[in-house]
A and B are shown apart, each in its own frame.
Chain A
Amino acid sequence: MTLEGRVRVAARFDGERIESVSVRSDRPLAANALLAGRTGEEALALLPGVFAVCGHSQATVSAAAIDAAADTAPPQAVQRRRERELVAETASEHAFRLLLDWPRLAGVEEDVTLLARVRSLLARAPESEASWGAARDALIGMVQSRILGAGLDTWLEQFSASEWLEWARSGRTATARTLAALCPATEWAAPDTAFLTDLGRARLAGKIALPALGQPGFEARPELDGGTAECGPLARNHLHPALRDLARRDRIVARAFARLAEFAQILREENCAGRIDQVALGPGRGAATGEMARGLLTHAVELDAGRVRRYAIVAPTEWNFHPAGPLYRELEGRPARDAGAARRALEIAAATLDPCVELQCELEGEPSHA
């Protein structure tokens, strides 16, 4: 197994539509190899350092899963700290997409200086309720002036899709110009994919955690009730009126706006409660979930005399880049005016679902693009 991993998206363009879509991921699924035989404490010390972009989320969800396996619950202060860690990392990752990755893709100027300031503030935010509040106050000012060009509440409460699209077309900030450029030239409503939200503990246990521990291949290609499912900002916020409206027209656009809306919404929250859940699965076995930047993260663990006997992680990339999952359904049959527009749709659809590894898009007959 190698440390490198990537998601490859390949397709053909028949002159009118995208077809023969193939989504393949060779992301290393190394949880069991890294953690088997270690104590819970050793696993928790190890995890933040081995994941490049989501170490805090992995560590906090792991801590909750290990607590569940020991059939204990953390003190409230510990739980709150874990939730702040996860939410701060989520916001930091959203900022990475909004200020760097997506502007690059859209041909809009990136803002590395602002991204560095946002990430620096969020890195210190989890320390305490007070530090979270101080970081929020500083970030709200930056987001209003540099990203939204409008008040946070005003922007979030513009409840129609058309008003958000008009904001994007106005080009008043680089983020607005970026989102405008990510809107496909031809809107298309892809077939629905189920959203992986509000599972409840019983379904989490029976439908995800136990299959992850016991069913070979589930970690690599997870399914819910025999079908694929989408997780992430759009799934979490699909009841927002403007996002619901956008999703009915074109989910690519909806996913882009959902990430910005969630970033703004996080800054309105005085606490970060409710993002991590845990469930005991019987003696020595437990699981936990966290709603992180890219979607639902599940850890499931089986302990034997305090040491990990089996460890599984079902990560958002495996749900969203399942070979028959949300990205496939978004692209297969999508109309495009020419091959260039088709390739662009591949790139943008994949970027808005945001794999945690390198992305490679290829349209048959054209050179590949990373």
Chain B
Amino acid sequence: MCLALPVRVIELRDGDRGVVDLGGVRKEVSLALVDGVSVGDYVILHVGYALTRLDPDEAQKTLETFAAAGLSPEPAAP
């Protein structure tokens, strides 16, 4: 997506893979493009790849910014 929605990493798997929590939905993603991701970190995703790692404080700040601007993380209607 264009806007950077932080998602929380909830599990690390072999092969530079991990599982993130997307609003209650678990999704496996690639962590091959970012270094040093731990469970509990937040990442910014693009087409199934984590592009950027954020610590929880940074992620919270970003989420609050979006909320203050009236932007919700729910998927757009089909």
Which A residues form the contact surface with B (CB < 8 A)? Answer: 1-6, 26-28, 30, 33-34, 46, 49-55, 96, 100-101, 112-113, 115-116, 119, 315, 317, 356-358
CB contact list, B40-69 vs A, under 8 A: 44-47, 49, 51-52, 58, 61-62, 65-66, 69
B contact residues around A101 at 8 Å (CB): 47
CB contact list, B1-56 vs A, under 8 A: 1-5, 16, 30, 32-33, 44-47, 49, 51-52
Residue contact A4 to B70, C-beta cutoff 8 Å: no
Query: Total contacts A to B, CB within 8 angstroms?
Result: 91
Complex Cα–Cα for A52 and B7 (A): 12
Residue contact B73 to A3, C-beta cutoff 8 Å: yes
The 7 nearest A-B residue pairs measured at CB: A52-B4, A33-B69, A34-B69, A356-B2, A112-B32, A4-B75, A4-B76
In the complex with contacts A52-B46, A119-B33, A3-B66 CB distance below 8 A = yes
Closest-by-CB residue of A relative to B32 is A112
Known pairs A3-B66, A3-B72; list 12 more (Cβ under 8 Å): A1-B70, A4-B73, A6-B76, A28-B2, A34-B66, A34-B71, A46-B65, A49-B65, A52-B1, A52-B44, A52-B46, A96-B46
Max chain B Cβ within 10 angstroms of own Cβ: one of A4, A5, A116, A358: A4
Residue contact B65 to A2, C-beta cutoff 8 Å: no
B contact residues around A53 at 8 Å (CB): 2, 46, 51
Residue contact A3 to B5, C-beta cutoff 8 Å: yes
B contact residues around A115 at 8 Å (CB): 33
Residue contact A3 to B32, C-beta cutoff 8 Å: no
Which B residues form the contact surface with A (CB < 8 A)? Answer: 1-5, 16, 30, 32-33, 44-47, 49, 51-52, 58, 61-62, 65-66, 69-76
Min Cβ gap B73→A in Å is: 5
Residue contact B3 to A28, C-beta cutoff 8 Å: yes
In the complex with contacts A2-B75, A2-B76, A101-B47, A49-B4 CB distance below 8 A = yes
Closest-by-CB residue of A relative to B69 is A33
Closest-by-CB residue of A relative to B33 is A116
Selected from A30, A51, A356, A357, the residue in CB contact (under 8 A) with B69 is: A30
Min Cβ gap B66→A in Å is: 6
In the complex with contacts A112-B30, A115-B33, A50-B4 CB distance below 8 A = yes
Closest-by-CB residue of B relative to A359 is B47
Closest-by-CB residue of A relative to B63 is A3
Residue contact A50 to B47, C-beta cutoff 8 Å: no
Min Cβ gap B24→A in Å is: 15
Complex Cα–Cα for A135 and B45 (A): 25
Residue pairs across A and B with Cβ atoms less than 8 A apart, 27 shown, are A3-B3, A3-B66, A4-B5, A4-B74, A4-B75, A5-B1, A5-B3, A6-B76, A27-B2, A28-B71, A33-B70, A34-B65, A34-B66, A46-B65, A50-B65, A51-B3, A52-B2, A52-B4, A52-B51, A96-B46, A100-B47, A112-B16, A112-B32, A115-B33, A315-B2, A357-B2, A358-B1
Min Cβ gap A217→B in Å is: 18
Complex Cα–Cα for A52 and B73 (A): 14
Min Cβ gap A100→B in Å is: 7
Min Cβ gap A313→B in Å is: 10
Residue contact B70 to A55, C-beta cutoff 8 Å: no
Closest-by-CB residue of A relative to B72 is A2
Closest-by-CB residue of A relative to B47 is A101
Residue contact B62 to A50, C-beta cutoff 8 Å: yes
Min Cβ gap B74→A in Å is: 6
Complex Cα–Cα for A30 and B71 (A): 8
Residue contact B72 to A1, C-beta cutoff 8 Å: yes
Min Cβ gap B34→A in Å is: 9
B contact residues around A113 at 8 Å (CB): 32
Closest-by-CB residue of A relative to B75 is A4
Selected from B52, B58, B70, B76, the residue in CB contact (under 8 A) with A5 is: B76
Complex Cα–Cα for A197 and B30 (A): 37
Closest-by-CB residue of A relative to B66 is A3
Max chain B Cβ within 10 angstroms of own Cβ: one of A6, A28, A33, A46: A28
Residue contact B65 to A51, C-beta cutoff 8 Å: no
Min Cβ gap A4→B in Å is: 5
